[in-house]
A and B are shown apart, each in its own frame.
Chain A
Amino acid sequence: ILLQNRQGKTRLAKYYVPLEDSEKHKVEYEVHRLVVNRDPKFTNFVEFRTHKVIYRRYAGLFFSMCVDITDNELAYLECIHLFVEILDHFFSNVCELDLVFNFHKVYLILDEFILAGELQETSKRAITERMAELEKLE
């Protein structure tokens, strides 16, 4: 299960299964190719190798998740949205540059949201509060 967002360039990539670096780059490249040319009217799901990619576009960024073929696509779509909302909340009106310069924070947020490839917390408020607490400790 992987999560990445991109605009041709990878801005965040997290893999919950072990992959070689070269393999990761290949996956990123292929997913990008797959996703970027799709019409907005099309479904947000594309089959990819033995899995499927759930993606959603926010401005110039594609948020893609690669999930098992049996998983609930609609739920993951919602999950992406929730993640974006959390980011939005945290950076107050998030834009790509925020993500580039604070990539490590994005990873930390993601770690509070998804762990071991499974959802950890579904409350936006809980996550932002938790992040604030952790920031204070720094």
Chain B
Amino acid sequence: MNPFSSGTRLRDMIRAIRACKTAAEERAVVRKECAAIRAAISENDQDYRHRNLAKLMFIHMLGYPTHFGQMECLKLIASAGFPEKRIGYLGLMLLLDERQEVLMLVTNSLKQDLNHSNQYIVGLALCALGNICSAEMARDLAPEVERLLHGRDPNIKKKAALCSIRIIRKVPDLAENFMGPAASLLKEKHHGVLIAGVQLCTDLCKANTDALEYLRKNCTEGLVRILKDVSNSPYAPEYDIAGITDPFLHIRVLRLMRMLGQEDADSSEYMNDILAQVATKTESNKNVGNAILYECVETIMGIEATSGLRVLAINILGRFLSNRDNNIRYVALNMLMKAITVDAQAVQRHRTTILECVKDSDASIRKRALELVFLLVNDGNVKPLAKELIDYLEVSDQEFKGDLTAKICSIVEKFSQEKLWYIDQMFKVLSLAGNYVKDDVWHALIVVISNAPDLQGYSVRSLYRALQTSYEQESLVRVAVWCIGEYGEMLVNNVGVLEVEEPMTVTESDAVDAVELALKRHSSDMTTRAMSLIALLKLSSRFTPTSERIKEIVTQHKGSVALELQQRSIEFNSIIQRHQNIKWVTDLLVVNNIARHPLKILVVESMHLLLGCWCMCRSSLVERMPVLDEAAYLGKRAGSSQPTLSAEKSSKPTTSAASLKLPNGVAKPPAAPLVDLLDLSSDDAPVLPSAPNDFLNDLLGIGLPNSSSSGAAPSTTTDLLMDLLSIGTSPAQNGPSDSNVVPSSAKAAESKPAPVTAPVMDLLDGLPSNASPPRDENLVYPTITAFESSTLKIAFSFEKQPEKPQVTLISATFTNLSSSTLTNFIFQAAVPKFVQLHLDPASSSTLPANGNGTITQSLRVTNTQHGQKPLAMRVRMAYKFNDEDKLEQGQISNFPPGL
């Protein structure tokens, strides 16, 4: 047999595909079939067209591309016979969808078929239209569909009704055309037509309010009658499902009633009786019965029903809740969630049952129930509910813990009336499911603790105790480590003991032990370890006797593989070696921990900067971290973008700030630019994206006041500051940090690439003298001739803004040296990777002959390796010279130094 004839039957192909053992075999078979079908298509094979299309549909279902068969559908649809048309339409519905252009070609065939004398063909066309019609088709064919609604054949009528639904969904403006016919459909006897009519009415109501009004007036009565008929009808075998006549019609009618009765007392009143009848009479031992009841309850809740009816509805839901079938319980929970806005009291009655559902084994039910409980919580019942949930947290599934924890946390945060209770509950959650607690939740907890001076002692002791049993809960460890670092002496001295507490004795070395354990435990992640290091550093100043031991622990981490830990250890080590009162730098580091990730690099850098300066200041610093600003924290958490927040904070003076400004012979030069950095960042605050700028200001605000008093020459200090900033970044870090910071702060990105002039250790050793290399303040550069050929000369002149040393504005002037005009002149430039180039449009594209005019074009060049590598550029000029395309190229390497 010719392999390219479509010889194999559909059945054979399916069999062949099923016989394939591997995906590769299957692909081979499909490929072969597709090739055969393509061949048949190009030969315009008439006989096997529908078989080919059927095969294509199967191939499509397997997930292979079949777009080449789309035109075949159209051909089949255009053919005369019913079987061809049928398979054609089927293919149309499967292989195409409303977004394809090809579909427009079918409109005409559809129109013809809608007017066909054969009712089966009309049915096919309606079916296709209902499934894939696009907005344009809807407009074109709406009159045909509307006409068919008035026809006699119920099969056509119901299809036309459903088609109208699709049309209205696509083009809501057409709704009014269908209002009258839709209403008359409700007078039909045939159930198929009825249900289609009811659905059409429902969609009309959604589409526009006029239709809603119209139907409310004309159909409410009819609907009630339909519902009465079906619910009272004797056994009708044709529509019977589990003893109930046509539950689907029931449900659709009830839904339409809900739409009509919503916020309309008159029609609601009209429905009350029949709803009560359905609600009481429907048997609830089968799924269908429950489906009707469920819909009925929803309708009662949706319309302006009498209170008696509502009580009945809530009772039905209560019955559902205690049902053994999970499906029923699920819908009941779902429904109660809606009912809670209507009648919270009634729902509260089922609280215990709902709580049981939270503990169900089925995730869907648990999720619903948890959401419902979340809605049920109020000031009165929050304590027992939170207790229940927290108790359950202990035994719940792993995958449910995340959800549950989040909900408990938000309940506890939202409804806490006293801090002690809040802190207690949070500790419980942390020790049970600390791994599931989101970062912002424990950050908030720290803020609260820092704002509750009388509970700090209690907190640190509870945490210490919890830590003994739940070392595996990451966020518990973090909070505990932070608190021990911050309030370590309260732990040891038992400060502020509450009545409820059991007394306990913890020695200083016990506290250090706990932190050390957190640091060394192999499951701790980087953040936890870093926090532990910081805590140790803080403890070293609080517990002088353990200082030596802490130094040892820190020293061990000098060789850590994690860069950040290593860096911190080395820095801390030198701090411990040199100084005793180190409080505020460490505070800054803690803030760093709370920072959201993308900011980290920026923060770390600023930290290094401050650290360097501080080391030179050698002044005494504050004892404890300033209280975290609760309101600001919450504001930030809510993602508010008010620059005022940051302004207010950056102006908050702290004692540590004053110390920095102490005139100290050695420290002076770096201190001034540092102050400028702060100045700069607060000045720029409004233009920067809110979150990072908030944060930067926060960070700096803690350390320093808003120092407009610095008054140093802006250009040099900025340079200096950039130097300082870049010192913190080792060259290896440069790449990734760039990409990290760029989105968050344009300013930071620009300042980063400044040249590294002084290694960090210089600063730490207090040798800042070379930190500010002299800069040319005037920044005047000579104009150069960048390029010259027999026809063309290019001159570059340069301009630089003093505060952005790496940005150069070049204005290029092109002059024509030849005797004919150059047209279509295009200048292109290329630069090495470390340089960014921005080309502005040229002043013209025509260059007059003999130097009788010029073109100017400005370029903005940003040299990210400013000071390290000179600028270089490759240029290319394309133009038309005497109607001939010309191309010239050149390299510019004679840029003046310092660009």
Q: Which residues of A contact B (CB under 8 A)?
A: 10-16, 18-19, 21, 25, 39, 41-47, 72-75, 77-79, 82, 100-101, 103-104, 107-108, 111, 115-116, 118-126, 130, 133-134, 137-138
Contact = CB atoms under 8 A, between A and B. Distances in A.
Lowest 8 CB-CB distances: which A-B pairs, in order? A74-B291, A116-B130, A42-B362, A116-B166, A18-B97, A115-B162, A121-B192, A43-B326
Nearest to B54: A104
B360 to A, nearest CB: 9
8 contacts: A41-B326, A42-B362, A42-B364, A74-B328, A107-B90, A118-B199, A120-B158, A120-B159
B249 interface: yes
A120 B131 CA distance: 12
B90 A104 contact: yes
A122 B779 CA distance: 85
A10 B61 CA distance: 7
B256 to A, nearest CB: 12
Interface of B: 11, 14, 18, 54, 57-58, 61-63, 65, 82-83, 86-87, 90, 93-94, 97-99, 120, 126-127, 130-131, 155, 158-159, 162-163, 165-166, 191-192, 195-196, 199, 237-239, 241, 246-249, 251-252, 255, 287-288, 290-291, 294-295, 298, 326-331, 334, 361-365, 367
A125 to B, nearest CB: 5
A122 B287 contact: no
A115 B163 contact: yes
A137 to B, nearest CB: 5
B749 to A, nearest CB: 37
Contact of B294 (A41, A45, A72, A120): A72
Is the contact region of chain B dominated by helix, strand, or loop, or is it mixed? helix
Contacts of A46: 364
A119 B248 contact: yes
Given A108-B90, A116-B163, A125 B238 contact: yes
- Listed residue (A11, A47, A116) with the most chain B CB atoms within 10 angstroms of its CB: A116
A80 B81 CA distance: 33
Contacts of B331: 72-74
B162 A77 contact: no
Given A78-B241, A120-B158, A107 B94 contact: yes
Contacts of A25: 63
Contact of A43 (B87, B196, B364): B364
Contacts of A101: 11, 14
Given A45-B330, A116-B131, A119-B199, A78 B247 contact: yes
Nearest to A112: B127
B291 A75 contact: yes
A138 B86 CA distance: 9
Nearest to A28: B63
A8 to B, nearest CB: 12
Contact of B82 (A12, A15, A108, A137): A137
A63 B184 CA distance: 35
A122 B131 contact: no
A134 B287 CA distance: 33
Given A41-B361, A78-B288, A103-B57, A72 B158 contact: no
B339 to A, nearest CB: 14
Nearest to A44: B327
A111 B330 contact: no
Contacts of B249: 122
Given A74-B327, A115-B126, 14 more contacts: A19-B97, A39-B362, A45-B330, A47-B364, A73-B330, A103-B57, A104-B54, A104-B87, A107-B90, A119-B196, A119-B252, A122-B246, A123-B238, A138-B82
